[in-house]
Amino acid sequence: MKSENVQPEDLKWRCDRCQCDLVVGPVTVEYMTNHFTTDLPYCPRCKTVLISEVVATGKMAEVEQILEDK
């Protein structure tokens, strides 16, 4: 299984609501009762965070690693 950061192809995504190009930046998400900040693609206009299955899988693996290290 791959556990990589956001890839260039992720940036091709557009917001469904306002057709903005997504930007990648720090976004606070919640996972297993923990809040953490990570870089994810989001819409700069309506703040919708796009988490694809691939990105989510990679990010969740990263987060689990972070949590295990605590």
Give the 3-state secondary structure percentages of the chain, helix then strand then coil, rounded to 5.
30, 30, 40
User: Is 17 one of the binding residues for Zn ion (CB under 5 A)?
Assistant: yes
Binding-site size for Zn ion (CB under 5 A) equals: 7
- Candidate list 11, 18, 66, 67; residue touching Zn ion; CB under 5 A: 18
| Contacts to Zn ion from residues 39-68, by CB under 5 A | 43, 45-46
Tell me the residue length of the chain: 70
Instruction: Looking at the chain, list the stretches that DSSP marks H as alpha helix, in order from N- to C-terminal side.
Output: 53-69
Q: Tell me which residues touch Zn ion (CB under 5 A).
A: 15, 17-18, 20, 43, 45-46
